[in-house]
C-alpha cells in the first residue's frame, strides 16, 4: 500500500486527476434532503424557508440508494462545521445558517447535521456502493459573530480592515480569515484535511476559491497529496467560472476541476431562446479548452441561483434538453438535489426548497410532488454516459446547426440531436447515413427513430450500430 501511495504522488497531475471526468456528482444541501434523526433537530421551522428543516447526515445514509439508483457516482454535501448559534435577519425573517457556510468552529461538526461517526457511516455506505463523498469546505471566512472574532481577532479581517480586492474582501461582510498567515494556514489544513483523514472522505468542493491566493492552494495541494493521496479530488468554485478563469488554477495543479458557471449561463440562454442552436454549438466546441487532464464541471442548477426549471417557466421538455446537453459533454456533471424530480424553486430562498419525496413519509419533503418520468430520463442519460466513453471525452464535432436544431457527434460512436422548436423538424446531414445510427435515448416518443426526423422540443442520443 505504501508503494502504491508513493506511486500516486509521482504520477503526472493529469494522470492522477483523470478519473474525475468519469464521475456523476449529486449535490445535496444536507438540511434540505432527509431528516434521519429528529432528536438532533434545532431551530427547525417548516414555515420559515430561512430556518433549519431538519435534514442530516443520517438522512442521506438512510436514503443513499435514491442517489445510487439514479446512477450518481459521487455525492457532494454542504459544509458540516459547527455553525453560529444565532440567526441574522433577512426579509423580516430569522435567517439561520442552515446552509453550513457560517462557521462558529471549524474543528467541530454541527450536531444539527450529526456527528463524526455519522459522517463515517455515510462514507462507508457510499463506498459499499462504489460511490464517493465530496465535502464542501470553507477556508475563506467564519460566520457572523463567531467566537474567533473576539477571541482571536488578529486571525481575521473585519470592518475597516476589509479590502477591495478578491483576497482581502470580506465577502458579504463575513469575517475574512487571513489565509496568507502560515499559522492560520496550518490551523485550516489540520481542521479540514484532518477530518478527511479520520472519516475516509474522497474529495473537497472548495468554496469561494478566488478569494484565496494561488500560493495557498498550491500549499493545500501538497498537503492533500501528502496526507490523503494523489487521487483525492479537489473541485473549486469561482463565480462565473469558465475555461479562461480555470487556467490559473490548473497550470500549477491546484485543482482537478472548476465548477462551470459558463455552461449554466449558455444553456439557460439557449433553452430560453436568447442563443440560437448554432451559437450553442460553437460554444460547446470551445468550452473545454483547458489543460489536459483537468476539467470544467458543468451544472444546470445550484444553491445560489434560481433552479433552471424556474428560469424556463417550468417547461420540462426544455429541461430534458438541458439534461441531455449536461450528460453528453466533457467534465463531471453536477445534479442539484431534486432537479431530476422537477424541483423548480426560483429566487432565493425558494431555490433551496426541500427534496421532493412524494408519498414517502420522509421529512422535510414528505408530500412534495415528484416527477418520476423526468427522473427516469436523467437515469437513462446517466446510464448512457457511463456506457459510452465518447459522451464524456473530448472529441466533439457539430454535424448540423441552425436556429433551433443542433446535432453533434461525440467520438466515433455517439450523436446527440436536439430540436428546440415547437414543431418537428426534418434535416439532412451530408456524408451521414441514418441507417448507421441506433436511437438509444429520446426525451419524446419517437415512432420514426430516424436521425433526420426530429420530434418537437426533443433531445435524442444515437449510438453507432455494430
Amino acid 447: pLDDT: 82
Residue 13 has pLDDT above 60, yes or no: no
DSSP H helical ranges for 273-398: 277-286, 308-311, 316-327, 372-387
Give the residue-averaged pLDDT of 344-362: 95
pLDDT confidence band for 5 (50 / 70 / 90) = very low
pLDDT digits (tens, 9 = 90+) for 170-204: 999 999 999 999 999 999 999 999 999 999 999 99
Amino acid 15: pLDDT: 44
Amino acid 91: pLDDT: 83
Residue 18 has pLDDT above 60, yes or no: no
pLDDT confidence band for 58 (50 / 70 / 90) = very high
Residue 9 has pLDDT above 80, yes or no: no
Share of the chain residues as helix, strand and coil, in percent rounded to the nearest 5: 40, 20, 40
Chain region(s) in the chain for CATH 2.60.40.1180:
398-464
What is the pairing mode between strands 414-419 and 405-410?
Answer: antiparallel
Q: What is the percent of the chain where pLDDT is above 70?
A: 96
CA distances for 299 relative to 327, 334, 339, 383, 463, angstroms: 10, 5, 11, 18, 24
Amino acid 60: pLDDT: 98
Mean pLDDT value across the chain: 95
pLDDT digits (tens, 9 = 90+) for 111-168: 999 999 999 999 999 999 999 999 999 999 999 999 999 999 999 999 999 999 999 9
Give kind and range of the element (H or E) at residue 227.
Answer: helix 214-228
**Residue matched to cell numbers 416518443:** 445
Give the angle subtended at the CA of 327 by the CAs of 11 and 399, to the nearest 5°.
100
Distance CA 179, CA 160 (A): 18
Amino acid 6: pLDDT: 39
DSSP H helical ranges for 19-171: 57-62, 64-70, 116-128, 148-151
Residue 430 has pLDDT above 70, yes or no: yes
Distance CA 126, CA 134 (A): 11
Give the residue-averaged pLDDT of 69-76: 98
pLDDT digits (tens, 9 = 90+) for 376-420: 999 999 999 999 999 999 999 999 999 999 999 999 999 999 999
Give the residue-averaged pLDDT of 18-25: 89
Residue 446 has pLDDT above 90, yes or no: no
Amino acid 110: pLDDT: 98
pTM for the model: 0.95
Residue 17 has pLDDT above 80, yes or no: no
Quick one: which of 183, 87, 190, 94 has its CA closest to 143? 87
397 DSSP β-pair partners: 409
Q: Which CATH class is domain 2-394?
A: alpha beta
Amino acid 413: pLDDT: 96
Q: How far is the first Cα of the chain from the last one, in angstroms, to the nearest whole number?
A: 41
Higher-pLDDT residue of 122 and 446 is 122
What dotted CATH number matches 398-464?
2.60.40.1180
pLDDT digits (tens, 9 = 90+) for 230-289: 999 999 999 999 999 999 999 999 999 999 999 999 999 999 999 999 999 999 999 999
Amino acid 465: pLDDT: 81
Chain region(s) in the chain for CATH 3.20.20.80:
2-394
Beta-carbon neighbour count of residue 466 at 10 Å? 5
pLDDT digits (tens, 9 = 90+) for 242-253: 999 999 999 999
**Residue matched to cell numbers 448540423:** 400
Residue 1 has pLDDT above 70, yes or no: no
Q: How many CA atoms lie within 13 A of 376 on its CB side?
A: 7
Amino acid at each position: 500500500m505504501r508503494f502504491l501511495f508513493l506511486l500516486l504522488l509521482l504520477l503526472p497531475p493529469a494522470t492522477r486527476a483523470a478519473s474525475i471526468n468519469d464521475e456523476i456528482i449529486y449535490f445535496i444541501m444536507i438540511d434540505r434532503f432527509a431528516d434521519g434523526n429528529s432528536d438532533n433537530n434545532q431551530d427547525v421551522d417548516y414555515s420559515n424557508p430561512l430556518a433549519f428543516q431538519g435534514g442530516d447526515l443520517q438522512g442521506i445514509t438512510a436514503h443513499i440508494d435514491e442517489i445510487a439508483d439514479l446512477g450518481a457516482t459521487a455525492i457532494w454535501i454542504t459544509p458540516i462545521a459547527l455553525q453560529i448559534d444565532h440567526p441574522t435577519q433577512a426579509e423580516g425573517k430569522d435567517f439561520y445558517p442552515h446552509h453550513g457556510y457560517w462557521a462558529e468552529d471549524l474543528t467541530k461538526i454541527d450536531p444539527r447535521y450529526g456527528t463524526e461517526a455519522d459522517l463515517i457511516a455515510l462514507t462507508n455506505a457510499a463506498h459499499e456502493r462504489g460511490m464517493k463523498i465530496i465535502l464542501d469546505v470553507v477556508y475563506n471566512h467564519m460566520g457572523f459573530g463567531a467566537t474567533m472574532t473576539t477571541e482571536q481577532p488578529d486571525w481575521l479581517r473585519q470592518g475597516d480592515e476589509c479590502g477591495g480586492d478578491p483576497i482581502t474582501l470580506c465577502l458579504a461582510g463575513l469575517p475574512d480569515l487571513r489565509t496568507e498567515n502560515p499559522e492560520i494556514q496550518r490551523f485550516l489544513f489540520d481542521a479540514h484535511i484532518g477530518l478527511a483523514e479520520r472519516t475516509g472522505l474522497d474529495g473537497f468542493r472548495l468554496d469561494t476559491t478566488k478569494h484565496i491566493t494561488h500560493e495557498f492552494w498550491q500549499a493545500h495541494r501538497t498537503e492533500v497529496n501528502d496526507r490523503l493521496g494523489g487521487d483525492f479530488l479537489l473541485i473549486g468554485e469561482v463565480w462565473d467560472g469558465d475555461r479562461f478563469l480555470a487556467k490559473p488554477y490548473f497550470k500549477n495543479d491546484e485543482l482537478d476541476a472548476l465548477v462551470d458557471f459558463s455552461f449554466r449561463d449558455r444553456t439557460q440562454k439557449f433553452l430560453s431562446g436568447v442563443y440560437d442552436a448554432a451559437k450553442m454549438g460553437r460554444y460547446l466546441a470551445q468550452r473545454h479548452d483547458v489543460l489536459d487532464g483537468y476539467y470544467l464541471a458543468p451544472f444546470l442548477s445550484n444553491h445560489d441561483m434560481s433552479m433552471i426549471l424556474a428560469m424556463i417557466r417550468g417547461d420540462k421538455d426544455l429541461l430534458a434538453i438541458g439534461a441531455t446537453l449536461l450528460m453528453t459533454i466533457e467534465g463531471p456533471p453536477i445534479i442539484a438535489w431534486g432537479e431530476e424530480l422537477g424541483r423548480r424553486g426560483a429566487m432565493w430562498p425558494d431555490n433551496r426548497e426541500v427534496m421532493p419525496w412524494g408519498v414517502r413519509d420522509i421529512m422535510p419533503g414528505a408530500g412534495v410532488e415528484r416527477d418520476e418520468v423526468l427522473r427516469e430520463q436523467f437515469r437513462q442519460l446517466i446510464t448512457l454516459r457511463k456506457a459510452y466513453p465518447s459522451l464524456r471525452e473530448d472529441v466533439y464535432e457539430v454535424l448540423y446547426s441552425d436556429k433551433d436544431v443542433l446535432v453533434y457527434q461525440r467520438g466515433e460512436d455517439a450523436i446527440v440531436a436536439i430540436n428546440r422548436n415547437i414543431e418537428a423538424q426534418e434535416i439532412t446531414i451530408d456524408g451521414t447515413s441514418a441507417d448507421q445510427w441506433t436511437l438509444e435515448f429520446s426525451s419524446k416518443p419517437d415512432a420514426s427513430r430516424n436521425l433526420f426526423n426530429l420530434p418537437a422540443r426533443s433531445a435524442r442520443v444515437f449510438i453507432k450500430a455494430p
